[in-house]
């Protein structure tokens, strides 16, 4: 038990904190109180220490209110205080969304938005914002932005991995408006001024690439992906598909539920993936008995991340398909959404790590392919010179190797 003096100080702190948060968010003081005696409260020491930190925040607020040269925008300051807390975690995947940012984030998972048509992620080796894909026919693709370009500036704002959400927000906007971004390509800085447009986000393309080989290029995992994948399998099967190539190159991930639903179609009954939080609490995702049962080859590269690594890792662990390409990105962290809160804001927060069915830790390691194949220089040159065109099958040496391996399985 703390002293009466400390308890009295704790009561003062509570009053200050309550006054501070009354204009910011609902602060449920009753959760922190153990004993009330008149106008004094006795609280646990850890609560007392926490309240002292809140008191410091209130002291800073008072100094700003009293002494700052201009009238402060308290809404911006409070948002900045909350964002500062998440940014101090030094985790680019944990972020606080204002109500408007949260709406935009949800739109991204639903198939369309207004922007320039880029999929981006944080390159953990250099903490830059890396382009994973420029969507076909998008402003970014038409301008010649390439996979692997690093976005280092949006308008006049320097950006890196710690400012991922800021950069994404700045690149979006009303259709018809423009935004200038600077990318680092090798040693060269290149400016692009792009006109924003409505971007319809495709989740996949599929076709027959030989008389009996089906091909599905899965761009990301969104709400539509499981149904679209099932429809693609049916249509390809109706065209005499005997084996499948699943292309996850450049797939940055997406919704875990969508990933596990697709995995359920490809895997035998069993564990697909599990996650563990810091308390080592384990959450498992399982597949049913239903299985496609066709020979399978999966293409991956260094831009295949997160949920795409979950799918590739499970396929590899069960031995139901051959993984071809380059070692994947190595993002094995699970993010959860918290909120929306009372004001419509929300948080995306890293909660746990992914592990493959055999217990492999994806994060920082990636999925090593069964057969490693570098993309050819000829293919790179074609993509550089024709950024808005699909790489022809005959120039795609990784895809050609996948066809060869699938042919062996079909013999």
Report in angstroms the alpha-carbon separations of 400 from 110, 232, 246, 323, 394. Answer: 33, 21, 13, 13, 7
- 23 as an active site residue: the answer is no
The stretches of 202-255 forming alpha helices (DSSP H) are 225-238
In the block, tokens 């590739």 appear at 312
Given a contact cutoff of 8 angstroms between Cβ atoms, the answer to whether 201 and 218 are in contact is no
Catalytic residue among 331, 345, 352, 396: 331
Both tokens assigned to 167: 């950069």
Residues in the chain: 411
Both tokens assigned to 289: 């008995």
Given a contact cutoff of 8 angstroms between Cβ atoms, the answer to whether 219 and 202 are in contact is yes
Closest-CA residue to 9 (of 42, 57, 35): 42
* Number of CB atoms found within 10 A of residue 57's CB: 15
Catalytic residue among 317, 326, 348, 396: 317
Catalytic residue among 225, 275, 306, 352: 306
| DSSP characters over 388-406 | TSPPPGGG-HHHHHHHHHH
CA distance 71 to 76: 12
- 287 as an active site residue: the answer is no
- Torsions phi, psi of 8, nearest 5? -65, -45
- Torsions phi, psi of 264, nearest 5? -60, -30
DSSP, res 37:
E
CA distance 312 to 259: 10
- 331 as an active site residue: the answer is yes
Which residues on neighbouring strands pair with residue 262, listed in sequence order?
A: none
Strand locations in 136-232, DSSP E? 150-154, 157-158, 178-185, 188-195, 197-200, 204-208, 213-218
Give the active site residues. 306, 317, 331
């Amino acid at each position: 038990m703390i002293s009466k003096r400390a308890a009295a100080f704790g009561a003062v702190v509570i009053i200050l904190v309550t006054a501070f948060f009354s204009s910011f968010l609902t602060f449920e003081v009753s959760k922190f109180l153990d004993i009330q005696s008149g106008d004094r409260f006795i609280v646990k020491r850890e609560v007392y220490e926490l309240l002292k930190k809140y008191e410091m925040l209130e002291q800073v607020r008072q100094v700003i209110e009293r002494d700052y040269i201009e009238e402060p925008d308290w809404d911006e300051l409070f948002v900045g205080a909350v964002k500062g807390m998440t940014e101090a975690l030094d985790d680019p995947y944990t972020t606080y969304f204002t109500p408007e940012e949260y709406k935009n984030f949800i739109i991204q998972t639903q198939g369309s938005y207004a922007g320039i048509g880029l999929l981006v992620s944080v390159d953990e080796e250099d903490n830059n914002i890396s382009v994973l894909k420029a969507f076909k026919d998008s402003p970014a693709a038409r301008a010649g932005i390439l996979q692997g370009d690093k976005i280092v500036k949006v308008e006049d704002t320097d950006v890196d991995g710690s400012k991922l959400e800021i950069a994404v927000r700045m690149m979006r906007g009303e259709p018809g408006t423009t935004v200038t971004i600077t990318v680092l390509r090798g040693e060269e800085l290149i400016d692009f001024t792009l006109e924003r447009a409505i971007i319809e986000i495709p989740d996949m393309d599929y076709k027959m690439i030989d008389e009996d080989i089906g091909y599905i290029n899965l761009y990301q995992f969104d709400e539509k992906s499981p149904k679209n994948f099932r429809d693609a399998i049916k249509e390809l099967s109706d065209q005499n598909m005997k084996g499948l190539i699943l292309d996850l190159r450049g797939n940055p991930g997406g919704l875990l539920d969508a990933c596990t639903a697709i995995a359920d179609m490809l895997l035998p009954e069993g564990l697909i993936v599990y996650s563990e939080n810091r308390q080592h609490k384990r959450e498992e995702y399982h597949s049913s008995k239903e299985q496609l049962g066709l020979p399978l080859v999966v293409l991956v590269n260094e831009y295949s991340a997160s949920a795409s690594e979950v799918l590739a890792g499970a396929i590899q662990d069960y031995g139901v398909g051959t993984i071809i390409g380059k070692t994947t990105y190595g993002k094995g962290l699970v993010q959860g959404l918290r909120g929306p809160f009372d004001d419509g804001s929300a948080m995306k927060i890293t909660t746990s790590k992914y592990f493959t069915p055999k217990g492999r830790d994806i994060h920082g390691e990636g999925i090593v392919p069964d057969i490693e194949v570098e993309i050819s220089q000829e293919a790179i040159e074609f993509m550089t010179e024709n950024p808005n065109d699909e790489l022809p099958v005959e120039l795609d040496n990784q895809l050609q190797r996948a066809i060869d391996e699938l042919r062996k399985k079909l013999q």
